[in-house]
Structure 1
Amino acid sequence: MTPADRLAALIRIPTVSDAATRDEAAFVAFRATLAELYPLLHERLERAEVAGGALHLVWRGGTAAPVVLMAHHDVVPVADQPWHRDPFGGEVVDGVLHGRGALDDKGPLVAVLEAVEGLLAEGFVPAGDVHVVSGHDEEVRGSGAQAIAQTLRAQGVRPALVLDEGGAVVEGIVPGVAGRLAMIGLTERGTAEVRLTVRSSGGHAAVPPRRQAAVRLATALTRIERHPFPARSNAAIVAMAAALAPRLPAPVGAVLRSRTSAPLVARLLGALGGVTGALVRTTVAVTRIRAGEAANVLAAEGTAELNVRIAPGDDVQGVLARLRRIVRDPAVEVELIAGDEPAPLSRAHGPAWDRVAAAVAAAYPDALPVPYVMVQASDARHFSGLGADVYRFMPFAITAEELAAIHGADERVSVAALDAAIAFHRALLTAG
């Protein structure tokens, strides 16, 4: 079997994280299939199942500081998405592997496992211990990887490097910058789940009051949309600008190399909006709204749920305070359901960064390593307290269309990108 064949076999096992329909038998089958596909790894590495299904594999090595390589194996649902192929078919067509999890995050997991299995077959011994961590509930903000991080902390394990999903090798995403970029996340935004609630006495719809609960809720949401959080710079943005400067025309590049340009860069990125704007500002998405149960009855209560992604420089309590100021209505309750602060900032220099950059060069000689702020959340945030540089990077060369298909229909990855990702991990593991 080829690496693509093994990834296809794992994609065919629907390890979907969904509280209502989660099939634990699929997760049991996935773990059993891993043991069949990677026999040396399961024979020679220490193996533990944690918190109901997260995997912790330890490859013992020399005396150097350990490395932690992460990739979760649960995936998001496919219901109501317009897939053109079976999302759990694992089909390879014209050098492209199709299926849920191809990129998020079974593909990256296979890249790690292929590298380890191959090196084991060659008799290689790593310079330090290698911890392979695969969460089983990352997509639902679960506890698997978090429990493993707590175990490592209790054992006093201090890795030199932690690597999890994040940026990829991309081209054409930064205006004016030519060539391929390896986008390596130095941090990730925090998250907050916020609920807005408005209550009233309800009543018959034939005699509506002037300030209905649903209308007050809609007014609050409109105010939030009209007052976005300000764009602001941070150390990761400064490092990103400095890295991109050599590939930009001289006048622009010279400006970006100056730290005094940081506020200007932040405002420019913020004005571009979309993914680019999300690098420099806290964002608020309205994900659920509910008000009323019948067509002829006034809603006695209206609720809206907000998904807030918190940029470095902001924090959970500051987000709540700002939302309350924007809403400006004492009848609208602004309540925090859950929240995580932005992750600490890792370094874009030093031995850990140099090791990742060297592995990028081995797999993608033409790609420029570029630090950035990861706009999504990952299991990596749980490992920040171990004292390591934590990077968020998926060593796959992907197109804008492939990037957009993550969590959407027609998720896919090229076989060539999978092979390059394996080469990246071999270079990373054999360094030092």
Structure 2
Amino acid sequence: MASKKTILLGGLAVIVAVGAVVGVRTATFAPKDIADGSDVTLAPAPTYDLQAAVRHLSEAAQIPTISHQDAADNDGAQWDRLHGWLAASYPAAHAAMTRTILPNKTLIYQWQGSDPAAAPIIVMAHQDVVPVTPGTEKDWKYPPFAGTIADNAVWGRGTVDDKGSLVGLFEALDALAVQGFKPKRSIYLVSGHDEEAGGSGAITAAAQLKAKGVKAIFTIDEGSIVLTDTPVINGPAILIGVGEKGYGTLKVTANAPGGHSSMPPAETGVETLAKAILDITGDPFPMEVRGPGASMIEVLAAKKGGVTKMAVANQWLFGPILKRQLTGSPSTAAAFHTTIAPTMLEGSPKENVLPQSANALINYRIAPWNRSSDIMARAKAAVGDAKVDLAWVKPPREPSRISSTTSQGWKWIAAAARADAPEAVLSPMLVVGGTDSRSMEGVSEDVYRFMPMHFTLKESAMIHGTNEHMAVDSFKRMIDFYARLIATSAG
């Protein structure tokens, strides 16, 4: 009897101890190493004509700088047209800056600062847009390349991605030039011509800047937004991308004798390929609550409080439950592991012919803690002795490095973003797609990805989709943000 009582008391003591640890850790939990920019004194935004700015965005959207899958299908004259339009629309900015047009049509502008010892800043926005999916034109509220101004917005392909940023930057720079702004730090504006098709322009621009000895204090590009209905808190959050995932496409090939479909072997090349795909996708990379994704969850949990804060503060106990919650939606899960997505299949050219070669493409978005070598090793282990060949379609792009959330560049960006969204939570995040800014790592101390547009999750789906449009209030926020950021950091 005494023994049972001792066991019961011991169990109660453990429960009490665990409860005490959970309580203390929850009460003292707070996100670490994320500066809020409150020590920054922001320069005021200059005055400008908002209606003229809106018309400018409309005009830019009417220039179809479309990056097709095959670059040979691109109409290079449209890029020339855009360059001429920029020069005509922003005379003060062009008078203040020197312009270099690279042979591939990427643009580099420099506004020379008065202090050669001060590290410059780099601001970015790309020129090209994705095509409109054939057959969907009728689904657009307004024609996709008409630049229609209606319903307090500018409608058209590229108004958000990324001509909104490009025009917003030029509006800000032109307004600053008109009011007589003289930067101490040099300002570089880099505008890639083919971000939507791989970003070779930004790579070339980065090489040019490196050859000049440029080492910027920060770079800012597209990549994230102010999300007004952020999961967990169901409220606004300023999400600043501090890194982006890597990218690679693996080709899986099954070779076979081929022949007539009326006399199939025990296993066709297509079957071998299908099994290999299932073996690879059946061994996914594990969810790991680490990196920028973990920092974001900590910020949101601290804001939410209650059991959410308790779970995040005590992952030693609630880690498995937290991971299950994070896998609830693909958009959330993507920030916490390397993703595997079969995207293309190729087999026989005819239904009654057994293919001699069947292949599949599997696209990977590589988490910051993985490398392409990890992917290849995992895929080879998954297929075992299956008669398939594995090879990268082209050299993979490794994940970017993670930028600081306490640097001066972060503080400037945070302060400029909070000026228009003081009630929003400030958080780093991992960009699961790709941006031109990754190419600037060699010429910049830190690289950030953020546009101050206010979107709901549902509204963000229009990027690369149907009915893309830029709300006028978001566009104004963008111009003001860029103007304050440039004047504060370079002034």
Common topology (TM > 0.5): yes
In structure 1, distance between residues paired with 2:318 and 2:94: 48
Matches within 5 A, 1:239-388: 239-253=295-309, 255-256=311-312, 267-268=323-324, 270-338=326-394, 339-388=396-445
- Does 1:189 find its partner at 2:240? no
For residues 233-271 of structure 1, the C-alpha deviation after alignment (integer angstroms, 9 at most, x for no partner) is 333133223322331124432553568689658724642
Aligned to 1:29: 81
Aligned to 2:55: 5
**Contact 2:87-2:94 at 8 Å conserved across structures:** yes
User: 1:100 Cα deviation (Å)?
Assistant: 0.7
Please report the TM-score for the alignment, with normalisation by the length of structure 2: 0.84
For residues 145-191 of structure 1, the C-alpha deviation after alignment (integer angstroms, 9 at most, x for no partner) is 1111112222221111100111101122313x042111111100000
One-letter amino acid of the counterpart of residue 382, structure 2: I
**Contact 1:270-1:281 at 8 Å conserved across structures:** no
Aligned to 1:59: 111
In structure 2, distance between residues paired with 1:48 and 1:143: 16
In structure 1, distance between residues paired with 2:146 and 2:444: 41
**Contact 1:234-1:312 at 8 Å conserved across structures:** no
Q: Does the residue aligned with 2:100 lie in a helix, a strand or coil? A: strand
For residues 84-138 of structure 1, the C-alpha deviation after alignment (integer angstroms, 9 at most, x for no partner) is 2211111122102111101111111111111101010000112311111100011
Residues 392 and 272 (structure 1), Cα distance of their counterparts in 2 relative to 1, 3 Å cut: same
**Contact 2:218-2:444 at 8 Å conserved across structures:** no
| Overall identity of the aligned pairs, in % | 33
Please report the TM-score for the alignment, with normalisation by the length of structure 1: 0.95
In structure 2, distance between residues paired with 1:145 and 1:293: 38
Residues 260 and 390 (structure 1), Cα distance of their counterparts in 2 relative to 1, 3 Å cut: farther
User: 1:318 Cα deviation (Å)?
Assistant: 0.8
Structure with greater strand share of residues: 1
Which of the pair has more CA radius of gyration?
Answer: 2
- Does 1:136 find its partner at 2:190? no
Name the count of aligned residue pairs: 431
Aligned to 1:73: 127
Residues 269 and 56 (structure 1), Cα distance of their counterparts in 2 relative to 1, 3 Å cut: farther
One-letter amino acid of the counterpart of residue 316, structure 1: S
Which consecutive residues of structure 1, in runs of 5 or more, have no partner in the other structure?
A: none
Q: Does the residue aligned with 2:223 lie in a helix, a strand or coil? A: strand
Which range is displaced more, 383-392 or 254-263? 254-263
Q: Which runs of 4+ in 1 moved over 4 A?
A: 257-266
In structure 2, distance between residues paired with 1:162 and 1:214: 47
Residues 262 and 182 (structure 1), Cα distance of their counterparts in 2 relative to 1, 3 Å cut: farther
Aligned to 2:67: 17
Residues 320 and 263 (structure 1), Cα distance of their counterparts in 2 relative to 1, 3 Å cut: farther
User: 1:400 Cα deviation (Å)?
Assistant: 2.1
CA RMSD of aligned residues (A): 1.9
One-letter amino acid of the counterpart of residue 68, structure 1: I
**Contact 2:219-2:444 at 8 Å conserved across structures:** no
In structure 2, distance between residues paired with 1:254 and 1:59: 49
In structure 1, distance between residues paired with 2:96 and 2:486: 16
Which consecutive residues of structure 2, in runs of 5 or more, have no partner in the other structure?
A: 1-50
**Contact 1:362-1:427 at 8 Å conserved across structures:** no
Q: Does the residue aligned with 1:126 lie in a helix, a strand or coil? A: coil
